[in-house]
Amino acid sequence: MKKFIETIKNIFKIEELRTRLGYTFLLILVYRLGCFIVLPGIDAENLAGLQQSSQDGLVGLLNMFSGGAFGNASIFALGVMPYISASIVIQLLGMFVPYFRKLQMEGESGRRKMNQITRYLTVLILCIQGPAYMAQIHNQIPGEAFVAVNRLGYSNFVFNLVSTLILLAGSMFVMWLGERITDRGIGNGISLIIMIGIVARLPFALVSEIGAKLSTTNGGALFVIIELVAWFLVILATIALVQAVRRVPVQYAKRVIGNKQYGGVRQYLPIKINAAGVMPIIFAQALMLFPLIFSRFDATRGLAATLGNYTGFWYNLIFGLLVVIFTYFYTAVTVNPQMMAENLKQNGGFIPGVKPGKATQAFLDKILDRVTLPGAICLAIIAVLPAGAMVLGVGNSFASFFGGTSLLILVGVVLDTLQQIESYLLMRHYDGLMKTGRLTGRSGM
């Protein structure tokens, strides 16, 4: 405890770090306040239907990423998801389109061009999602909630157009806040904004769960203790997965990866076990919503009900398999063995015993496939843990923090931010946040 207090004091002794932390907290406060500002012309007291429909499925995921702004009909309702979607599209284009592949290899100048294209694509996505969100609002809340139309005499077209422009501006402002945090604050701004929205739900979910269990007379207090211990163990396991960076030796043995030394120095290729992060779970969750389309037809209603049961066996089995598949797919998008082999060759580097070029690429592909498999399986287990928690009696709101996107984003972003703080401490010759070893986040070692 004494060392922890001393570390906090050291953080505030560094003027630059103190300024960056204050700037980050200020912009996060601006974002959280904006999440509760309802679109002009809508009565906030009639949003119960919209909030209820924003609890489950893909819409619930969007509401979580926006920090509840989606269900509040806020000016920040669309949040950073359009920007994330645009970034994913640009990354996919980098695999298949030569122009974007060339930009990826141009260094800083190419990165700036890709960021500019990502912003333009974000605006295009917002122009599609904005009217779709307004249509969702009209379907979920009563007509008397639209004060601008009923009392002020505006037409639906004018109201929807103005609201769409506000949503577009609000989402771009949130994206700007994230970029400012990245440049002048601490941590990755976009990731921090998503994490803050998730953290905002945690206290209410925890209090609600404790209250529900203590209100029962059949060992409610004991069940709460078991839940909290299990949650703590899941958090530790998730931290281990996020921090798992396997330092793969460059010499590949016949059956296992060897540990041979060259010139007295052991050489490694740092490859993350979970290079895909949380994206495979997001893709898999979006795909699992398609069976709900067939619930409208009598012939396929039973199949849709089976595949749409969040706590059912078949839903979670298919969900877990999709997570494994998308883990391999997204790892192939983010980690390019061909580019790694070319960079080694251009910089005069090589892997002992492996020829440069295609042989090096095949070698890296083989290592990546073997390292990705355990990470994909662990990610699939974490993805289905909330369903297991609900089956065992944990409430829906608190069960979402037992795994899935909520826990992975929460742990990953916290570790990344702590890693940056530790770097500042070590540069000023203070002790880091950990007694032994360096703290590692999703960005590596």
Mean pLDDT comparison of 163-172, 269-278, 288-297, 386-395, highest-scoring range? 163-172
Lowest mean pLDDT among 128-137, 211-220, 389-398: 211-220
- Is residue 248's pLDDT more than 60? no
Lowest mean pLDDT among 90-99, 160-169, 170-179: 90-99
pLDDT of residue 6: 72
H or E element that contains 196: helix 189-214
In DSSP notation, 67-104 reads TTTTTTTBTTTTTTHHHHHHHHHHHHHHHH-HHHHHHH
R_g over Cα of the chain? 24
pLDDT of residue 263: 41
Q: How far apart are CA 115 and CA 128, in angstroms?
A: 20
User: What structural domains and CATH numbers belong to the chain?
Assistant: 1-186 (1.10.3370.10)
H or E element that contains 140: helix 108-140
Q: Which residue has the higher pLDDT, 380 or 286?
A: 380
What pLDDT digit, counting tens, does each position of 45-92 carry? Answer: 777 767 666 666 556 666 777 777 878 888 998 888 888 888 878 877
What pLDDT digit, counting tens, does each position of 337-351 carry? Answer: 777 777 777 777 677
Taking CA 374 as the corner, what is the angle to CA 368 and CA 376, rounded to the nearest 5 degrees? 85
pLDDT of residue 25: 92
Mean pLDDT comparison of 11-25, 84-98, 254-268, 326-340, highest-scoring range? 11-25
Q: Which residue has the higher pLDDT, 29 or 292?
A: 29
Band of the pLDDT at 252, cuts 50, 70, 90?
Answer: very low
- Is residue 199's pLDDT more than 90? no
Q: How far apart are CA 239 and CA 196, in angstroms?
A: 18
What pLDDT digit, counting tens, does each position of 406-439 carry? Answer: 888 788 788 878 878 877 777 776 555 555 555 5
State the amino acid at position 242 in one-letter form. Answer: V
pTM equals: 0.75
- Is residue 26's pLDDT more than 90? yes
What pLDDT digit, counting tens, does each position of 105-123 carry? Answer: 777 788 888 889 989 999 9
